[in-house]
């Protein structure tokens, strides 16, 4: 005799009822439970509290489990006692219910490992006061940087670089010095810097001396000119013979200036030196290309992961690169998992999907019409789908693409519109138009999803 299926009660408000019924029916068919829907006397489910839910339960048959809207607030125990069954918060978006019930792939438990080191460069570091340097370095470290690279000014000498490095080291920072000036490099090494960017034939004699004086230091070796791999090999061999530790950097060139050929040189260097550490300075592509940097960082991270390039130098100078450190930190975890486990880098890191969204949900014309028939109060519901804005309350269902024109129609109908409601609608219209423009999901009174850049938004609506 087959065991009885568990009965699960889903709590919702009037507005989300049709959509919830559709999603729950699909999930129940595959997840093996009997669904029950409790539609409580509130329009917007996100405005519920557990105390309010406990006091407004309608009569229902005994259930094994209660699922509340993910945006509901309060103590679950209040609902569990009222329903005489364990209660839990569901996902914030009801479209995520299949994943909540294990019917879609979620991120694996072993996700998040990486083996690529991030050097985050503070460009023109001598121009900053120490407090400013610390602020930048702390932000980089919080966002995933392993080493702080102090970028010096060519043609100048940073007189107190040793003191700065010593102070940074006392605060637990790992430091690299980015300079060809020995009057900057030597005091930085003496103060505890562990990496020198960079060494070629112009300063290799000094670097050989530093190998002896500072055996803990590692040297980024570069070719004399980007296309001259032989000079890279000569410099690396001299340092190795002197007992030095090296990382090879064949130099990534900008698009239009040898980008593809530079990738080939990385591949060639890895073929010749399969076990020698390598580094890639990715700023020549992220900083010098008119495109948001996140996607570029992921692609370059994938190249590095497949080739075994286990360190990158990144910058955050130009505005479209102002979150590159965090982007690469997320990217290195994504590509590590993809390469190590042989899976596509897809459906693993939603935080990197920022401009558009992972998925969109539309009510469709019939669904919006049904919502318009159900709504009877004065509170406005705004939707952005099908290329249009839809504004619905008990008196109207307006549709259009121009929020100013829609608002004029609202003013002609709503004589009680005050400044606070006008401001609220204007704010929501702005988000909705942004969502339409980019093809993002718009949910009224919720922040647009900008991946890891999303800013939490506090509700300002009152229950309807």
Q: Where are the domains of the chain?
A: 7-100, 117-348, 364-453
The pLDDT value recorded for residue 359 is 81
The pLDDT value recorded for residue 379 is 85
The pLDDT value recorded for residue 105 is 57
Distances, alpha carbon 18 to alpha carbons 15, 24, 86, 396, in Å: 8, 10, 25, 20
**Region 239-257: what's the mean pLDDT?**
97
The pLDDT value recorded for residue 273 is 96
Q: How confident is the model at residue 30 (pLDDT cuts 50, 70, 90)?
A: confident
Q: How confident is the model at residue 154 (pLDDT cuts 50, 70, 90)?
A: very high
Share of the chain above pLDDT 90, in %: 75
The pLDDT value recorded for residue 171 is 96
pLDDT in tens, 325-376: 999 999 999 999 999 999 999 989 999 999 999 888 887 888 788 878 878 8
pLDDT in tens, 158-191: 999 999 999 999 999 999 999 999 999 999 999 9
**Region 55-70: what's the mean pLDDT?**
91
pTM of the model: 0.83
Cβ(126)–Cβ(158) under 8 Å? yes
Nearest Cα neighbor of 321 from 143, 175, 135 is 143
Q: How confident is the model at residue 463 (pLDDT cuts 50, 70, 90)?
A: very low
Q: What's 131's DSSP letter?
A: H
The pLDDT value recorded for residue 131 is 96
The pLDDT value recorded for residue 462 is 42
Average pLDDT over the chain reads 92
Distances, alpha carbon 234 to alpha carbons 63, 225, 294, 309, in Å: 75, 13, 35, 20
pLDDT in tens, 102-149: 765 567 889 999 999 999 999 999 999 999 999 999 999 999 999 999
User: Quick check: do 7-100 and 117-348 share a fold?
Assistant: no
Q: Determine the CATH number of domain 7-100.
A: 3.40.50
Cβ(6)–Cβ(35) under 8 Å? no
Query: In the structure encoding, which two tokens stand for residue 160, read together?
Result: 């107190």
**Region 201-224: what's the mean pLDDT?**
96
- Pick from 25-29, 90-94, 284-288, 363-367 the range whose average pLDDT is largest: 284-288
CATH ID of 117-348, from 1.20.1250.20, 3.20.20.20, 3.40.228.10, 2.40.37.20: 3.20.20.20
């Amino acid at each position: 005799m087959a065991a009885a299926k568990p009965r699960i009660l889903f709590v919702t408000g009037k507005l989300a009822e049709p959509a919830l019924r559709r999603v729950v029916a699909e999930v129940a068919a595959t997840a093996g439970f009997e669904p029950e829907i409790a539609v409580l006397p509130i329009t917007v489910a996100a405005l519920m509290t557990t105390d309010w839910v406990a006091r407004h339960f309608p009569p229902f048959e005994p259930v094994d489990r209660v699922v509340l809207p993910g945006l509901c607030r309060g103590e679950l125990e209040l609902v569990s006692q009222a329903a005489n069954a364990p209660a839990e918060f569901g996902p914030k978006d009801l479209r995520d219910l299949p994943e909540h019930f294990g019917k879609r792939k979620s991120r694996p438990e072993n996700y998040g490992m990486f083996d690529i080191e991030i050097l985050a460069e503070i460009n023109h570091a001598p121009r900053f006061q120490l407090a400013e340097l610390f602020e930048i370095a702390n932000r980089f470290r919080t966002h995933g940087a392993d080493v702080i690279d102090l970028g010096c000014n060519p043609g100048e000498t940073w007189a107190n670089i040793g003191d700065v490095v010593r102070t940074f080291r006392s605060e637990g920072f790992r430091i690299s010095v980015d300079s060809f000036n020995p009057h900057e490099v030597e005091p930085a090494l003496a103060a505890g810097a562990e990496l020198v960017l960079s060494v070629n034939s112009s300063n290799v004699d000094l670097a050989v001396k530093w190998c002896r004086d500072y055996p803990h230091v590692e040297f980024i070796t570069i070719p004399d000119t980007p296309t001259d791999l032989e000079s890279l090999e000569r410099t690396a061999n001299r340092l190795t013979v002197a007992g030095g530790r090296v990382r090879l950097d064949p130099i990534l060139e900008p698009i239009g200036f040898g980008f593809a050929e530079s990738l080939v040189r990385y591949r060639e260097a890895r073929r010749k030196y399969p076990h020698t550490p390598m580094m890639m300075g990715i700023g020549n592509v992220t900083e010098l290309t008119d495109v948001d940097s996140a996607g570029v960082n992921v692609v370059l991270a994938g190249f590095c992961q497949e080739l075994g390039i286990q360190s990158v130098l990144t910058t955050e100078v130009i505005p479209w690169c102002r979150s590159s450190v965090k982007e690469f930190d997320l990217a290195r975890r994504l590509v590590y998992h993809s390469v190590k486990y042989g899976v596509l880098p897809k459906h693993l890191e939603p935080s990197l999907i920022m401009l558009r969204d992972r998925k969109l949900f539309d009510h469709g014309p019939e669904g919006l019409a049904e919502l318009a028939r159900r709504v009877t109060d004065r509170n406005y519901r705004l939707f952005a789908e099908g290329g249009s804005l839809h504004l619905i309350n008990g008196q109207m269902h307006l549709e259009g693409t121009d929020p100013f024109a829609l608002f004029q129609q609202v003013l002609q109908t709503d004589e009680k519109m005050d400044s606070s409601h006008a401001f609220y609608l204007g704010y929501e219209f702005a988000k909705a138009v942004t969502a339409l423009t980019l093809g993002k999901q718009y949910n009224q009174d919720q922040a647009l999803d900008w991946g890891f850049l999303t800013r939490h938004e506090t509700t300002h609506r009152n229950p309807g």
